[in-house]
Every structure is written in C-alpha cells, then in structure tokens.
Amino acid sequence: MSDRVFIFDTTLRDGEQSPGATMNLREKLRIARQLEAMGVDIIEAGFPAASEGDFCSVRSIAETVKQSQVAGLCRAMPADIDRAWDAIRAAAHPRIHTFIASSPVHMKHKLNKTPDEVLDMAMKAVRHASQYTTNIEFSAEDASRSDWEFLAKLTQSVIDCGATTVNIPDTVGYSQPDEFAELIRYLLKNVPNAHKAVFSVHCHNDLGLAVANTMAAIRAGARQAEVTLSGIGERAGNAALEEVVMNINTRPTIYQVTTGIDAEKLFPACRLLSHVIGQPIPPNKAITGANAFAHESGIHQDGVLKNRETYEIMTPESVGRAGTDMVLGKHSGRHAINQKLEELGYRLSAEDVTMVSDAVKRLADIKKTIYDEDVEAIVLEEIYRIPDKFRLMHLTTHSGTTGVPATAAVIMEVDGQERKLAQFGVGPVDATFNTIAEIVGVSPVLERFHISAISGGTDALGEVTVKIRDGKRTAVGRGADPDIIIASARAYINAMNRLAKKTEETTECTAP
C-alpha cells in the first residue's frame, strides 16, 4: 500500500457553502493560488452546474492553476458531467468528480430510487465521464449510513467503469472513528478491484469527529483526505486541512504516511481565508488559533522556558507562525519588506512590494511597533482588496457624554465622483454607517459587527469585520486601521463594494 496521502481541498466548494463564507472570483483565485503554493494535490473549484457564477469561477481557476489538479463536482447526470467538463477542460490536470447518494434514507426519501437504479445511474455517469478524462472520482454520498454489501458492489462497479478515485463520505458526521475505519478496511478487503483506485474519505464535523474519523480512515488504508482550510463547510464544517496534516507530521510512527503539503504555509493560508470571508480564527482553534502556542500557567511557562518540548508538541514555526518582534519600520527597505512577505507566505510582484513598503512606512508614522500581523493586514487591505466602486476619502466623528447625538462627516468617492454628507447616530460607528449608507443610497441590515486587535499595545492596528444584508444578498467586509472608527468605516464600505461586485459578476459572467 502506498504511503502517500493525497490532499483534496474543497474550501472553494464545500467550504464556501458555510454560512457567510461566500467569495467573489478574485478571492477564489487568491485562495486557489495559495492552495497550489502549499502543495495541495487536488483543488475542488466548485459545482459548475449550480449557477453561471460557479461555472465561471471554476473555469477561471482551471485556467489559472498549473500544478494542482482541478476538480469540478457534478451529480451523476450527463448534463451535469458535460457542464463540469466544459468548466475544467482547460486545466493542466482536470478531474471530474461525480456523485450519487447510496444510503437507504437518501435513496428512498431524496432520490426516490431503488438500489439497482442508483447503481445503474452511477455506472452510466462514470462511463459518460470517461469519454472526457481518465481522472474520475466517484463519491457515494452518505456512505457511512449505507448498507456495506451494497456499497462494496457500487464501489466495484464504478471502478470497473473507470473511476480511479472512490470517495467514502461521512456526509452527516454520524460515524465514529472505530466503525469508520472498519468500513474502509471492509471495502479494501471485499472489493476485488480495490487496488485499481485510490480510496478517499470526506468527513463532516457534526459530532466533532471529522478529523478523528479522517485519521482513523488513513490508518485503515484510505489514501486521499478531503478537507478544508480551518474546517469550514456546511453545518459544523469539514475536517480541517491543517489538523490532518499536522497529525500526520507530528505522529509519523502512528500513521506512517506522508503528504506533499508545505506545513509552513498552513497558518498564512488559514489567515488569508479568515480575512477573505471575514470570520476570525477562534483563539482556541487547534494549530492556527491565537492560543495554540500561548502559555499562561506559571508551571507551563517555566517548563517551556526550560525546554519547549515540555508543553509544545510542535513549534509555531513549523506551521508558519512567525514571531512578533519589531523588524520593520519607516527606515526599512523594500528588500527587507519583501523578505518578510516571503516569510509570511506571500509572493508579490515588484509593484505590489512597493505598495506594501509605502503602506508600512505610513503605518510606522502612526504606531511604534510593526508586527507581522500588521504586515499581513496591509497586504490584504492594499493588494487583495477588490476594486472599489465606493472609496473613503475623509472621515470626522464627534461624540461625548453631553447628550448631543454623535455625528459623522464623510467624504467619499462614488464611481469617481466626490460626495459629502454629515449624519447623526447613537454613537460614532452608528453615525458613520448612517452617513455612508445615505451617500451610497443603500441601507442594508447590519447582521454582524466584530472588532479585534491585530497586535498588542494601545496603538494596535484594529480589525473590524461586518456582515450586511440587502434583501437576499449578503456581503462580508473587513477593514483595518489604528483608529477603530476608520477601520469600521472601511469594513462597511468594503462590504458595500462586495454587494455591488456581486451584482456586476452576475451580469458579466457568461458561459459558452
């Protein structure tokens, strides 16, 4: 049995189905490039038949990514398969990923089909896909609640028809590690042609066991893990890529397998996703959380100072977490800044490095200490921010305890035209948002407002994330600035720009 585990990342497909995690095309391309640079074997770019927007984003990712395989998901239906192939055919390494449910509850209540009908559909789907490529993955949806004998028969049949990867999902996070491992062992033993395909697992986290089930399956012989950055996904999410990889890296004698992942890029990738979707990484999140390598207990601190291995089973550096010493300032040159960017996992053009360098120097005029997190915030604010339809030019607020309502005076650029307005609010943030909404001409509902300090100190760069809703459309925005009111304004305007961008992409995206 091979000792190589393939990492199949579905952040851009299953991950995006997480509430509030919708990404625009530019953001998806950025995530895809980061996954490729990290060494992900297969990137599932989306579900092309779902919408015109999905088709366009999958096609763009397929045209951009060169090293990783690019997969398009499709139901076991000819039209879906054709659509998926149209989207990924330009990829350097395209993969068709087709699926159909195999559990009794799904076949009866969702598909309204018999097991024989499902078997026939699966075989026809794989045969249909094989006219386009030999790189075909088949998934038996809700496999963990399927009849084992039927699942073995289904697996054997799709392999005979040309499937080279067979995925056994724990679709609703129902399985337990021991029984899931036993299912994988059963299939490898009872499917005569099992040696002709890679067995994959896709585990959900409804009972908090997605990573545990994935690791148990790998020990049982599965050689592809389907994961997402930070474990985002439907309902409680998926197995987290960084947790699966670091289990393998940290306990090599237990798993005796390897991956092609550059682990030092794990934290930068998760941090990038956090910025893109506007959802902070929880402090207690394994591997990438702020507390993952923090020690407050005196006994723990004493042990770590004497030998880090007393309380750290991996180093922060091994997952790409850099120190927070001041290494940059107003006198730092482009070379030093570019070196720091590369340490943080970013590969930018000379023009982009110059933009970051200028922003670092402007920030150094405001705050004493420049941290790595500050540099990351600048990259995401200056380089990867979507082009602005609305842009903040000047903001002044007034508030106090005198009983006079807070006021905000805002100057903005809207489609290249300067606009000015002042409004009241119950506080400076409310007054600012009221003014911006009036200028833009849209009054969305503010569903989420979150403030966090990117680094330490009273002059810390503040980061604000907001989620707004305008009818059926939602958008997440983020902004960073030492002045938290300005950061709030930038986050709100960023969300407004995303709402506008969604409308533009819907009208601009055309498929052949």
DSSP string, 333-355: -HHHHHHHHHHTT----HHHHHH
Cα 211-213-217 angle, rounded to 5 deg: 115
Q: What's the confidence (pLDDT) of residue 91?
A: 98
Share of residues in the chain with pLDDT > 90 (%): 62
CA 28 remoteness from chain centre? 9
Q: What is the tens place of the pLDDT at every residue in 338-374?
A: 877 877 777 788 888 888 888 888 887 776 667 777 7
Instruction: Quote the tokens at residue 304.
Output: 């770590």
Is residue 162 within 8 Å of residue 129, measured between CB atoms?
yes
Within a 13 Å sphere around the CA of 361, how many CA atoms are in the beta-carbon half? Answer: 12
Q: What is the tens place of the pLDDT at every residue in 79-109?
A: 999 999 999 999 999 999 999 999 999 999 9
* Residue 440 confidence (pLDDT) above 80: yes
Q: What values do phi and psi take at 300, rounded to 5?
A: -65, -45
Q: How many Å apart are CA 261 and CA 225, to the nearest integer?
A: 12
Q: How many Å apart are CA 138 and CA 191, to the nearest integer?
A: 15
Instruction: Quote the tokens at residue 251.
Output: 């306990």
* Residue 301 confidence (pLDDT) above 70: no
Is residue 370 within 8 Å of residue 359, measured between CB atoms?
no
Mean per-residue pLDDT, 121-125: 98
Q: Which residues of 80-95 are buried (b: 16+ CB within 10 A; e: fewer)?
A: bbbbbbbbbeebebbb
N- to C-terminal Cα separation, the chain: 43
Is residue 6 within 8 Å of residue 42, measured between CB atoms?
yes
Q: What's the confidence (pLDDT) of residue 389?
A: 87
* Residue 299 confidence (pLDDT) above 90: no
* pTM score: 0.80
Instruction: Quote the tokens at residue 320.
Output: 């790409």
Supply the DSSP symbol for 109: I
Is residue 473 within 8 Å of residue 53, measured between CB atoms?
no
- Band of residue 209 on the pLDDT scale cut at 50, 70, 90: very high
Mean per-residue pLDDT, 147-172: 98
The residues facing 94 across adjacent strands are: 70
Range with the largest mean pLDDT of 9-18, 161-170, 344-353, 420-429: 161-170
Nearest CA to 54 out of 25, 20, 32 is that of 25
Sheet holding 445-453: strands in order across?
A: 445-453, 462-470, 473-481
Q: What's the confidence (pLDDT) of residue 321?
A: 78
Is residue 118 within 8 Å of residue 101, measured between CB atoms?
yes
Mean per-residue pLDDT, 130-142: 98
- Band of residue 317 on the pLDDT scale cut at 50, 70, 90: confident
User: 6-9 and 136-141 as β-strands: parallel, antiparallel, unpaired?
Assistant: unpaired
Q: Tokens 């680094």: give the residue.
A: 455
